[in-house]
Amino acid sequence: MIQLGLRFHDSKEVPFPERAKLVKEQGFSCVHIALSKTAGLPAKREMLTPGYADWIRHRFDEAGLDVAVLGCYLNLAHPDRMVVRDTQKTYEAHLRFAAKAGIGMVGTETGAPNETYSYDKEACHSEEALRIFINNLKPVVKYAEKCGTILAIEPVYRHIVWNPRRARIVLDAIDSPNLQIIFDPVNLLHPDNLDHKDEVLAEAMDLLAPEIAMIHLKDYTYKDGKMESMGCGLGEMDYDDIIRFALTKKPYIQATLEDTRPESAKQCRKYIEDIEARIEKEIK
């Protein structure tokens, strides 16, 4: 079984408690929430108090939803040391908040070695960028250990940790059970590697299996040299191997849908559930 959820800011924008109930009514069991992307929710670091964490926890409990991930997508490879330290403090606040709110993990991506968090293949994929990211990530993971919280990084082709091998290097360098992986198959793909996409995803499931703590599910199309992401079942992604991996290696893992629309979320959920049901029959 896979516990399917929804990225909260993809849901219908209504007052918060009602919004959570609508997500549950659409058949989801958990959410991925980024406070800064959810209208009406405080998101500034100094606002992340224990009382606010309790309030969030109670509202999701009332809706019957778990919070799988608290998103905090900031750049730990920024060239300004003062900015990096401020960013680390923001991660620390999110880790404290997640621990108090009963949230499964704090999720993040892996940045770019520039001020604009923009893709520069030579710079992002360099060994120096990886060294900087690891050095700046270490104290955040240490803080996660103090909080008893998981920090999960998401490899993305356009960022510093751009393939499964780089992710493995980060995991081994930091060597902490509190550092885990969010596996987003589509984010590992790019026009540069689509001709061997099956090998890329197989390598991720092989190298990162022990630390994969959550899955993101979306789809994509490829046209005129560009990829566009969208909800599951609306593009070209083949999810059979991903679902088989989840069912056999990660039972009951939480997996949240991304890039859905309020009107398409149930359709995208059913698409994944149909694959899950078919593969469950195959593996019995």
pLDDT tens-digit readout, 27-76: 999 999 999 999 889 999 999 999 999 999 999 999 999 999 999 999 99
| pLDDT mean over 131-137 | 98
pTM assigned to the model = 0.96
Evaluate if residue 236 carries a pLDDT over 90.
yes
Cα–Cα distance, 280 to 145 (Å, whole number) = 36
Of the pLDDT bands very low, low, confident and very high (cuts 50, 70, 90), residue 234 is: very high
Tell me, what's the pLDDT at 284? Answer: 78
| Residue at 96: amino acid letter | R
Tell me, what's the pLDDT at 51? Answer: 98
CA-derived radius of gyration, the chain: 18
Q: Residue 263 to residues 16, 27, 41, 150, 269: CA-CA distances in angstroms?
A: 18, 13, 23, 32, 12
Q: Please give the helix or strand (H or E) that residue 200 lies within, else none.
A: helix 197-207
| 175-232 pLDDT per residue, tens | 999 999 999 999 999 999 999 999 999 999 999 999 999 999 999 999 999 999 999 9
Cα–Cα distance, 242 to 34 (Å, whole number) = 25
| pLDDT mean over 129-142 | 98
CB neighbourhood size of 81 (10 A): 9
CATH topology of domain 3-283: TIM Barrel (3.20.20)
3-state secondary structure of 178: coil
| Per-residue tokens: 11 | 């849901």
Residue of 88, 73, 55, 75 lying closest to 9 (CA atoms): 73
Cα–Cα distance, 262 to 22 (Å, whole number) = 10
Tell me, what's the pLDDT at 67? Answer: 98
Evaluate if residue 156 carries a pLDDT over 90.
yes
Mean of the per-residue pLDDT values of the chain: 97
φ and ψ at residue 109, rounded to 5 degrees: -100, -170
Per DSSP, 138 falls in state H
| pLDDT mean over 230-246 | 97
- Locus of tokens 């885990």: 180
Evaluate if residue 22 carries a pLDDT over 90.
yes
Q: Which residue ranges make up each domain of the chain?
A: 3-283
Evaluate if residue 258 carries a pLDDT over 90.
yes
Percent of the chain at pLDDT exceeding 70: 100
Q: Angle CA(117)–CA(122)–CA(125) in degrees, nearest 5?
A: 75
